[in-house]
Structure 1
Amino acid sequence: MSASDADLSGRDPEPIGPSLPGGLLDLLGVAAALLDGEGRIVLWSPQARELFGWSADEALGRYAAKLLVAEENVPLILELFAKVMASGDSWAGVFPIRHKDGSTRLVEFRNMRLRDKDGARYALGIAADESVVRGVERDLALSARLVTQSPIGLAVLDTDLRYVLVNPALEHINGIPARLHLGRTVAEVLPFLDAEAIQAVMREVLSTGTPLLEQFTTGSTPADPGAEHAWLVSYYRLDAAGGRVIGVALSIVDVTEQHRADQRAAQARRRLALIARASARIGTTLDLGRTARELADTVVPDLADMTAIDILDAVLQARSAHLTPTGPADFRALAVKAAYPTEAAGAADPVGEISRYAADRLVTRSATTGRPVHIPHVRPGDLARIARDEQAAAALARAGVHSYLAVPLTARGEVLGVLDMVRARNPVPFDADDVLLAEELAARAAVCIDNARWYQTQRDAATALQRHLLPQIPPHVPGLNLASRYQPAGAPGHAGGDWFDVIPLGAGATALVVGDVMGHDINAAATMGQLRTAGRTMARLGLEPAEILRQLDQLTEELEETIATCVCVLHEPVSGRCRIALAGHPPPVLHRPDRPAILLDLPPGAPLGAAAHVPLTTTGVDLPAGARLFLYTDGLVEQREQAIDVGLNALLDQLTGPWLPLDEVCDKLLAVLPGRKGDDDVALLVAEAEPRQGPHQVQQW
């Protein structure tokens, strides 16, 4: 640092007085010798002995030219000596000198004339080994070049932690000229950094002498105030040659690009992990609402603070939405989720409700254009197009919503709905990478939503077909009071195979049929319709229950890959007896008012269409007045992880206790039996015998 630089520091000059010596003169090994007017040596320093090899006793009083100069160089040295003594001009240069050991070495001289008070003249010679001088010069030049031209920021601070040197690279990093650093502390020059922590580190290094290398730090400086930068800072103590501590040095490497690349790589890994989680989490079932909630759970909080999934109502109704750029659209909200409690969640459209969105609403625009709507920085006017009304817009504003993104849910070329997201607590606005990630998630989720939509449509169609095919059971037929229930399967798309039927016959008799076609789709419902129609026809021909089942078995064998179970009961009100046949079906339950319920021990037969050719048998059973006969499908009592006997015993247990009306009994069984939450249909038919009818009463019927 030059003197002019020192003046800029604003510090008081160092007090005059003795202090610890520096090491430069010791490094150079400067020697001094004094010659009188005749050229004799009259003063000889210890350094001169080290440089020339002659002791003071050997040198004092001798002519310097004869002692130190080779004979061929004596005339030249005498001429130079005479000029110094005559004119008083100083002379400097490199001259070969003879060492005591006989060798010759180059020595750099500085010669000047001196006069004492009596006018006597002397010549003072200051000498140093030329190789040492050149080495020091090279080291100083190299050091200066390294400091000024280094791309690494370098700084030196004194023991008071004030800047004494700043190189151009650090000027560029900090965005502050070097002259504004000098004499000041880090806190004074860079108040926007954590100066206390930085100075604490430097004090530790000064105290211990242990360097701290590559300390990672981030921040911004006046050089680029709008962006975050990253640096690796190393601290090490500077000691003089004698061990005196003179300050602390800093080297600062700007690693912003590497830091940003690492951030991008980490972000890419997070995005890939999010996509992987989405693939595993979204579409685990074919339930439309659950699929939408799984998408919301994936998006929040990794991508957004809050999200809503809105599906076009026409899509849910399996109709074309007929969207136009200027027209409204009807949406149904399937899921809303926030990362934390916020009134912004209440500003979203309620889940399950159908709402008409105006054409200028951003959700509508995304659906009609089939493209994302990206607003990195939400302005007050944008909130009115995000929210459904002014109150909702005000709630979003209070919640701090500052960035918005809506992405269409498109599957197989059709827009199904929109995934829209906002950020409030997350200070980073949605960027182009977020748009790409949201589109990827939306594309994956849209396929799952579309699958769930079509399965639900199929389930609804199968359920509607089955309900249409099921009979309207009369509350009363000759000799019997009846109650029935049908419950579709708990899983989407699993309705269709179970049925029951009540068939009035001649002479007051009634045929009761309950069956179960294997399979859970619209094909099972259609097959059930065929078997039910055939069973009604054969029952009206006066066939016995076993014969009816044999005829149905032949029909089932003609249908491709169809298996069904069935129970057929023929009740005669005059005799009060039932004739029953089973084809691989769960046995009926007989419950009398004065006795516990029992499973009827009947020949089980083989399922229809199984090609087992097991004989089917009709068995007579008394059904006294007040007794109840329970016919049901296995969906009522069976669970996959349990044997069917567990469900059958549970059915018998539920029939103990108070004697309830028929409808209440049906509701109770559907509510509490093991199979109530299964993935199979349930058909239940209960017949309660009235007092026996006389022939004339039957004729009236």
Structure 2
Amino acid sequence: MTGARRRPQRADRPEGGAVDPSGLMDLLGVAAVLLEADGRIDMWSPQAEELFGYTRSEAVGQYAALLLLHPENQDAAVTLFADVMATGRGWAGAFPVRHKDGSSRMVEFRNMRLTDNLGDHYALGLATDRTTLRQVERNLALSTRLVTQAPIGLAVLDNDLRYLAVNPALAAMHGVSEAGHMGRDFREVLSGAPFLDAEAVMRQVLASGAPVVDRQVVGRTAADPERDHAWAVSVYRLEDHHGHVLGIAIMVVDVTDRYEAARKADQAQQRLRLVANGSSRIGTTLEVERTARELADVVVPDLADMVAVDLLDSVLQTGRPDVGEGPALFRALAVKTAYPTAAADAIVPPGRLTTYHADHPAAHCIRTRRPHLITHLEDHARIASDPEAAHLLARAGVHSDMAVPLIARGEVIGVMGLARARNPQPFDDDDLALACELASSAALSIDNAVLHQHIRSAAETLQRSLLPRLSPRHPGLDVAARYRPAQAFSEVGGDWYDVIPLDGDRTALAVGDVMGSGIPAATAMGRLRTATSTLADLDLDPARILTHLDKITHGLDPYIATCVYAVYDPHRALLHVASAGHLPPVLMRAGRPPELLDLPTGIPLGVGGVPFETTTLGLEPGDQLVLYTDGLVETRDDPIDERLEDLLRLLAPRDRSTEVTCDRLLRQLRHPAGHDDVALLIARAQPLSAR
């Protein structure tokens, strides 16, 4: 090379900063050798030193063919070199090269002619170890094959989450072509709300470098916009050998089948829990409305977004379903929604009577005795009672509905209607089967409650008919009495009171309690009250009266009863009283605190064999006697002694009226849900001249 020739100089570093080098060139270890036109080595790169073993000083100036090639290959190499220099066509191929250490290795060459500004020609040879090159080629081929043919979705995104590469599997999952991904942002391709979390995970991996493996994402893509799919997504950060972040790689595996199987298994477990929950929560009382509310509480929100429970009004009125020829008349029992919604105004409120048009699901259930499922609801008038209700249901987004008959003892007694709005999943056959199972159990409980309600109503009517109507005048006494049946889901008992006028201006006072409940107890009570009234006319001592009642009660086996019987003589201001196992009466004297009378308690009526005793005490005008049954003071949680103390405390302030005292005692002592009857009688002594 003459002095006029200019050697290539090292380029200055760009002002904007150097571009990061590629690791692939370093991996291949590409050597560069510059030959003069006669084949002598003019330039020798450090990579050439590593590849061939000769230092720069040993190689520069030597003929390349003689230095590097075996004798048998030198002529072929010289011919190829001359052709490149003469024609300017490049050459590529492999030659076995003689290493400085004497070994031989196959080297891949790329030769090309270069021309400087003076028109002189050079030959540039690029060389790399063929074994290393073949390994890289094999790896690349394998990677390409895996990327293009693997069923796993693969993609590479840059630091701004723009797609750089996508394989066919991922393109198919997204429903977007491979070309449609290139250069687009992740959120442009997958814009649905479920993918917001996936984007956050990608940015987290970019920032931290910690991979995220098998993160489940559930959503819908353009490939199948009508159905949810599930994917297991793994995200890895990509770095070069210098540690510079290149972007991220994502692996996506469609696990929809596994997701659906797990979801169905979870739904099955949830249904089992719901059935078990229904068994424990539905039918805890014998109250019709409460049982319907319990059914509604079980199905919302686990099964439906809203529910309505309607019962045939004929069942409530007569205990038997009677549809007749016209539209069935329903009474709404319970309504519940999972959240505040305008749809609640479209549902008939509890207590209201209503009828439904012939195409309504409830009417369908009554006619066919079969459930009615509307998977995808389009015409809201089908399930609405009127056009305004249909508008409210549509505005609330109700999209799926089903109606299930309430069948008890082979008769349809009502309907349960369920709907979904916020829950995007339509009702399916499994949901219908679950609703039917819950409805079947609840229907029996509701029917039992209806039956109990009718029996209780009959018993209460009988009970009240057997109680006396107090006379407005009793010589020397001001009398007030009350009877309160047990709470709605308990049967009435056999509590009674009586005020019987006797000869000589005397008055008999009686309060009793037949143990038991229902119509039999009320009937036994009526027989005892009749016997008491009959025996009172015989003008017997109270103890003798109780003795006769004991014999009568013994004949009413298996019933026993407690009773307090007293006779007041206003002329002598004396009270004769006897007790048969009853709670002690309260005596209230003027200027003294109320006290429990210390009477010989005796044994209940019907036991027999033990005599009764009569106690005589004075009862002056202004004094009061309080007779009551255990339902006034007994509870399941409080000791009876404490409750009797409460009774005395409440009687301490004297009311001007015995009627007021009765009401106050019932209001403050008896719980609204008391499980027992209460009979209460208060008699105040007064001068004979007073009315």
Match of 1:497 in 2: 494
Match of 2:662 in 1: 666
CA apart distance, 1:167: 1.7
CA apart distance, 1:488: 0.9
Equivalent residues of 1:363, 1:386 under 8 A apart: no
Equivalent residues of 2:194, 2:219 under 8 A apart: no
Equivalent residues of 1:583, 1:604 under 8 A apart: yes
Q: Distance in 2 between matches of 1:244 and 1:114?
A: 35
Post-superposition Cα deviations, 1:319-365, rounded to whole Å, max 9, x if no partner, equal: 321336x6422222222334444554344334334444454443232
Equivalent residues of 2:581, 2:603 under 8 A apart: yes
Match of 1:251 in 2: 251
Percent of matched pairs sharing the same residue: 53
Match of 1:224 in 2: 224
Q: 1:684 aligns with which of 676, 680, 691?
A: 680
Match of 1:530 in 2: 527
Match of 2:566 in 1: 569
Q: 1:407 aligns with which of 404, 407, 410?
A: 404
Equivalent residues of 1:383, 1:397 under 8 A apart: no
Match of 1:129 in 2: 129
Residue 364 of structure 1 aligns with an amino acid whose one-letter code is: A
CA apart distance, 1:45: 5.8
- Structure 2 residue 450 is matched with structure 1 residue 453: yes
Q: Distance in 1 between matches of 2:668 and 2:121?
A: 129
Q: 1:437 aligns with which of 434, 437, 440?
A: 434
CA apart distance, 1:473: 4.0
Match of 2:634 in 1: 638
Say which is worse superposed, 594-603 or 412-421, in terms of deviation: 594-603
Equivalent residues of 2:321, 2:413 under 8 A apart: no
Q: How do 1:211-290 and structure 2 match up within 5 A?
A: 217-241=217-241, 246-290=246-290
Question: Cα gap change, 1:395/1:31 in structure 2, threshold over 3 Å: closer, same or farther?
Answer: closer
Match of 1:468 in 2: 465
Question: Cα gap change, 1:177/1:314 in structure 2, threshold over 3 Å: closer, same or farther?
Answer: same
CA apart distance, 1:504: 5.2
Residue 296 of structure 1 aligns with an amino acid whose one-letter code is: A
Q: How do 1:48-197 and structure 2 match up within 5 A?
A: 48-55=48-55, 74-75=71-72, 78=75, 94-108=94-108, 127-158=127-158, 162-186=162-186
Equivalent residues of 1:307, 1:420 under 8 A apart: yes
Match of 1:329 in 2: 328
Give 3-state SS (helix, strand or coil) of 2:329's partner: strand
Q: Distance in 2 between matches of 1:250 and 1:626?
A: 96
Equivalent residues of 1:327, 1:359 under 8 A apart: no
Post-superposition Cα deviations, 1:586-616, rounded to whole Å, max 9, x if no partner, equal: 23344567876554433221222345x4431
Query: CA RMSD for the aligned pairs?
Result: 4.5
Q: Distance in 1 between matches of 2:482 and 2:140?
A: 102
Question: Cα gap change, 1:604/1:95 in structure 2, threshold over 3 Å: closer, same or farther?
Answer: same
CA apart distance, 1:572: 5.2
Equivalent residues of 1:84, 1:113 under 8 A apart: no
Question: Cα gap change, 1:152/1:684 in structure 2, threshold over 3 Å: closer, same or farther?
Answer: same
Match of 1:383 in 2: 381
Question: Cα gap change, 1:493/1:93 in structure 2, threshold over 3 Å: closer, same or farther?
Answer: same
CA apart distance, 1:475: 3.5
Post-superposition Cα deviations, 1:543-597, rounded to whole Å, max 9, x if no partner, equal: 4321222233234345444332112234556655443221111233445678765
Q: Distance in 1 between matches of 2:649 and 2:127?
A: 120
CA apart distance, 1:138: 0.9
Q: Distance in 2 between matches of 1:294 and 1:678?
A: 21
Q: Which runs of 5+ in 2 are unaligned?
A: 1-16
Question: Cα gap change, 1:357/1:483 in structure 2, threshold over 3 Å: closer, same or farther?
Answer: farther
Match of 2:604 in 1: 607
Equivalent residues of 2:490, 2:675 under 8 A apart: no
Match of 2:547 in 1: 550
Q: Distance in 2 between matches of 1:50 and 1:366?
A: 90
Q: Distance in 2 between matches of 1:214 and 1:386?
A: 46
Q: 2:485 aligns with which of 483, 488, 497?
A: 488
Give 3-state SS (helix, strand or coil) of 2:493's partner: coil
Equivalent residues of 2:34, 2:43 under 8 A apart: yes
Give 3-state SS (helix, strand or coil) of 1:386's partner: coil
Q: Which runs of 5+ in 1 are unaligned?
A: 1-16, 694-701
CA apart distance, 1:517: 1.4
Q: 2:513 aligns with which of 497, 516, 529?
A: 516
Question: Cα gap change, 1:665/1:550 in structure 2, threshold over 3 Å: closer, same or farther?
Answer: same
Equivalent residues of 1:581, 1:616 under 8 A apart: yes
Match of 1:618 in 2: 614
- Structure 2 residue 361 is matched with structure 1 residue 362: yes
CA apart distance, 1:472: 3.9
Say which is worse superposed, 187-196 or 51-60, in terms of deviation: 187-196
Residue 311 of structure 2 aligns with an amino acid whose one-letter code is: I
The total of aligned residue pairs comes to 672
Match of 1:698 in 2: none
CA apart distance, 1:231: 4.0
Q: Distance in 1 between matches of 2:668 and 2:118?
A: 132
CA apart distance, 1:400: 4.5
Say which is worse superposed, 407-416 or 157-166, in terms of deviation: 157-166
CA apart distance, 1:431: 3.8
Match of 1:697 in 2: none
Question: Cα gap change, 1:631/1:193 in structure 2, threshold over 3 Å: closer, same or farther?
Answer: closer
CA apart distance, 1:366: 2.2
Residue 298 of structure 1 aligns with an amino acid whose one-letter code is: V
Question: Cα gap change, 1:474/1:368 in structure 2, threshold over 3 Å: closer, same or farther?
Answer: farther
Q: Distance in 2 between matches of 1:32 and 1:664?
A: 118
Residue 381 of structure 2 aligns with an amino acid whose one-letter code is: L
Match of 1:345 in 2: 344
Give 3-state SS (helix, strand or coil) of 2:510's partner: strand
Equivalent residues of 1:670, 1:676 under 8 A apart: no
Match of 1:9 in 2: none
Give 3-state SS (helix, strand or coil) of 1:278's partner: helix
Q: Distance in 2 between matches of 1:655 and 1:237?
A: 84
